Amino acid sequence: MSILSGKNVLLGITGGIAAYKTASLVRLLVKSGAEVKVVMTPASKDFVTPLTLSTLSKNPVYSSFVNEEDDNAVWNNHVDLGLWADLFIIAPATANTMSKMANGVCDNLLLATYLSAKCPVYFAPAMDLDMYKHPTTVKSFEKLKSFNNIIIPATSGELASGLIGEGRMAEPEDIITFVEKDILEKLPLKGKKVLITAGPTYEAIDPVRFIGNHSSGKMGFEIAKASANLGAEVILITGPTHQDIAHTLVKVIPVTSAQDMYNEVHKHFKTVDIAILSAAVADYKSKEIASQKLKKKSPTLILELEKTQDILASLGQIKKGQYLVGFALETNNEIENAKDKLIRKNLDLIVLNSLNDKGAGFKGDTNKVTFIDNKEQITEFQLKSKADVAQDLLNKIISQIDA
């Protein structure tokens, strides 16, 4: 999964010959998982058709304030477009459009949207060599960069004039790579390594049966996704679950038993900066595992159980600078029990959720949590999606490790 996955990308296209490349750029953005909307200057429609871009983006293409061919004269709201976007890429960016951007000229929908945008703006210049090096163009570059707009440098090659030199718009693949790298470099968890556990563990009784629990792994997978989207390199150690994740920054390690999880966690813990143990690890396992399937010979079955190794407590004993997070699922005396676990296991933060709260706990898509940190600061949240809970958790961690 690309870092662009799930992002709203506004693509602005201006009237240069390089506009023909934008069909490939739209396709690559969509393939990366982005939601793409296109705004064109009137002149750009001479080089690439709105129909092509609409088909590839699966969204209407905007080029004027009012759709004149529409009898209802629908207003295309540039402010809404600017607010919708997580990032705005203007490619190609002609000398004419860049000059207007630099000086606040607003004579078409694209420029009005640019002036309304609150998101990062990338621009990919495209023009002939002499235009590219002209002092007025250089001044436009400098002015736009002073606005914190981000230039995607042009490359050298054969130009539309037949000359060879600088001014050729970056190739669509290179534009995607540039934007992805730029986003990653600025993310708050860039350079951090995060270990996450998720799901249940299964403790064998015999070759067929096991002791387990109802954990779906959803919470841990959402935390892994959110961590990667904030730039972290993620190691996700997961018990048996139907959840999946495809992200270039997430390495998934499947395990089955508590002992398997213990071994994998300890294999990686020394190399990480943050460990978030959200897995519902079995507290007990069968002392003897039958080599053959147990037969139903009597109306009762007595199993002797023994404790599994406490993964969270073992990490609390050996941590050296790692930020350690545990989860507590409680049914009574929630706050007191969570505080006790926080101190006893030497945690930096504990995430409490109660089975008494409707919509919280296993299997569902929502959770209701309370954070308790090692200064005993308590932060209670309302019922939220597990994706939002994951974001809240990482915001809390970032605020503490940056403090």
Supply the pLDDT for residue 398.
96
Residue 166's pLDDT band (cuts 50, 70, 90): confident
In a domain, 54, yes or no: yes
158 plus 230 within the same structural domain: no
In this predicted structure, the answer to whether residue 400 has a pLDDT above a threshold of 80 is yes
d(CA 336, CA 12) in angstroms, rounded, equals 55
CATH of the domain at 317: 3.40.50.10300
Examine the fold and report which residue of 166, 186, 206 is the final residue of a domain before the chain moves on: 186
Q: What DSSP designation does 20 have?
A: G
Q: Once rounded to an integer, what is the mean pLDDT over residues 43-63?
A: 95
Residue 360 confidence class, pLDDT cut points 50, 70, 90: low
* Whether residue 101 sits in one domain with residue 237: no
Quote the CA–CA distance of 123 and 94 in Å, as a whole number.
9
Does one domain contain both 76 and 212?
Answer: no
Is 1 contained in some domain?
A: no
Do residues 73 and 118 share a domain?
yes
CATH of the domain at 29: 3.40.50.1950
> In this predicted model, which residue has the larger pLDDT, 330 or 208?
208
Residue 170, pLDDT score: 94
- Number of domains composing the chain: 2
Inform me whether the pLDDT recorded for 104 exceeds 70.
Answer: yes
Instruction: Report whether 243 contacts 254 (CB < 8 A).
Output: no
3-state DSSP of 227-269: HHHCCCEEEEEECCCCCCCCCCCEEEEECCCHHHHHHHHHHHH
Q: 319 and 257 share a domain?
A: yes
| Residue 300, domain member (yes or no) | no
Q: Of 186, 216, 251, at which residue does a domain stop?
A: 186
The answer to pTM > 0.75 is yes
> What are the structure tokens assigned to 275, written together?
């460990």
Q: What percent of the chain has pLDDT over 90?
A: 79
Residue 13 structure tokens: 């296209």
Q: Are residues 238 and 290 in the same domain?
A: yes
Same domain, residue pair 162 and 254:
no
Of 168, 186, 204, at which residue does a domain stop? 186
223 in the same domain as 97 = no
pLDDT score of 402:
77
Question: Is residue 340 predicted with pLDDT exceeding 70?
Answer: yes
pLDDT surpasses 80 at 303: yes
Strand (E) or helix (H) holding 350: strand 349-354
Question: Taking 70 as the threshold, does the pLDDT of residue 71 lie above it?
Answer: no
Q: What is the DSSP letter of 75?
A: B
- Rounded distance, CA 371 to CA 373, Å? 6
Q: If you average pLDDT over residues 278-295, what whole number do you get?
A: 93
Does some domain include residue 3? no
Residues marked as catalytic: 213
Please, how many CA atoms are within 13 Å of residue 314, restricted to the half-sphere of its CB? 16
pLDDT classification of 264: cutoffs 50, 70, 90: very high
116-140 pLDDT, tens digit per residue, is: 999 999 999 999 888 999 999 999 9
- 191: tokens are 């350079």
User: Which pair of tokens denotes residue 106?
Assistant: 């607003």
- The whole domain housing 143 covers 8-186
Give the Cα separation of 193 and 165 in Å (integer).
42
CB 361 within 8 A of CB 351: no
pLDDT band at 364, cuts 50/70/90?
Answer: confident
Residues 198 and 182 in one domain: no
Domain presence at residue 299: no
How high does pLDDT run on average in the chain?
A: 92
Same domain, 199 and 59: no
pLDDT attached to residue 332? 82
